[in-house]
Chains A and B, each alone.
Chain A
Amino acid sequence: MPTYQLNINGERREVTVDSSTPLLWVLREDLKMTGTKFGCGISACGACTVHLAGIATRSCIVPISHVGDRPIVTIEGIGQDAVGRAVQDAWVEKDVVQCGYCQSGQIMAAVALLKHTPKPTEKNIEESMGGNICRCATYPRIREAIKSAAAQIK
């Protein structure tokens, strides 16, 4: 099996896995970074969202062989930058989480939105977060948290 050099949350990690292994499984099974969740496995729910070269990416359907040298940021590392920290703080402030299973993906999508659109409209939020499903229906609190984070970002 091939060996891959990965840049995850600013650290170099090495894994030897089958080339078809989805990035999600590498994170969870090989690197034991279990903050990123398995939801649907077909890119339909957003629970597995990570950032790949800054793009919110569904890690369940990206084979490790397609990652290359692009930097990966997961929920474990998202608090390292100002936008990520603001979003996490807002999530706590608004008490967004219910069961919490989808929330790492929600936060990763929210950070991608705010990095691109620091002052999002309702439509921006609706469209950008529209692919992240929450079984507990915490959507109103997610919206409020995103607005709160946006207000905190300079």
Chain B
Amino acid sequence: MRRIRLILFVSAAVLTLTLYIVEVRFARADVPDTTTTAQGLRAWEQVYSVLTHPRCINCHTATDYPQQGDDRRRHVANVVRGGAEGKGVPGLNCAGCHQESNADSTGVPGGHNWHLAPLSMRWQDINDRPLSSAAVCRAVTDRSKNHNLDGPALLKHHEEEALVKWAWNPGRRPDGTMRTLPPITHEQFVAATRQWVEAGTPCPAGR
């Protein structure tokens, strides 16, 4: 009798352990960790605050021209987007003014490969109003629109891309004052992006 009880006890224990393991694995595979998702969404809002700052969004337009300044006015000299590369046109190429680095003595910003973001990465509407957090998030995470960047590649882009980093070293305006910076540091921006990526790049609901 004692032997039967022992066998029943061990069998129950094994069954319980098996069910626990299956449940935990199932939960990890298919059920989002709500805490992590919430943290990821909060991190995304920090990322969004940078993406919609004038230093970034001025070249993520929906129109045929870039913008400039904190008031996001149309770029001087009738500059236009040009072809798919967004580098302007032959007589008005971005590189015709924007050199490899900032020209603080003349107030012209510069950085490697200065160009407009592609239209698929527009973060504002045709009336120059920033898109919602949800809409920008959907665009940024859509690999058919973002040069096929997955989460880790987006993190690398935010961490290393020269024009992204330029936003925190934008140089001086023609009047000698410093251009404004995004609301958080580059380190905080990268940390927020990492947290968002680790949470699975969640996007807010809504339009």
Contact = CB atoms under 8 A, between A and B. Distances in A.
Nearest to A41: B106
Nearest to B106: A61
Given A55-B95, A56-B96, A58-B96, A112 B76 contact: no
A110 B92 CA distance: 11
Interface stretch (B23-31, B77-85, B125-133, B151-159): B77-85
A124 interface: yes
Contact of A62 (B82, B89, B103): B103
Contacts of A115: 90
Contacts of B103: 61-63, 66
Contacts of B92: 56, 109, 127-128, 130-131
A51 B105 CA distance: 21
B contact face: mostly helix, strand, loop, or mixed: loop
Interface stretch (A42-50, A72-80, A88-96): A42-50
A128 B108 CA distance: 20
A127 B82 CA distance: 8
Interface in B87-130: 89-93, 95-97, 99-101, 103, 105-108, 110
Contact of B174 (A20, A42, A45, A63): A42
Interface in A90-130: 109-110, 112-113, 115-117, 124, 127-130
A109 B78 CA distance: 14
Interface in B65-82: 76-80, 82
A20 B105 contact: yes
Q: Give the interface centre of A42, A49, A115, A131 by most chain B CB atoms within 10 Å.
A: A131
B174 to A, nearest CB: 6
Contacts of B82: 127
Size band of the A side of the interface? 20 to 34
Given A61-B108, A131-B78, A66 B100 contact: yes
A131 B105 CA distance: 22
Interface residues of B, number: 24
B80 A130 contact: yes
Contact of B78 (A61, A66, A130): A130
B76 A56 contact: no
Contact of A43 (B80, B105, B108): B108
A109 B80 CA distance: 15
A132 interface: yes
A127 B65 CA distance: 11
A110 B105 CA distance: 28
Contacts of A58: 96-97
Given A61-B97, A131-B77, A131-B78, A22 B106 contact: yes
A57 interface: yes
Interface of B: 76-80, 82, 89-93, 95-97, 99-101, 103, 105-108, 110, 174
6 contacts: A56-B90, A56-B91, A60-B106, A109-B92, A127-B82, A130-B80
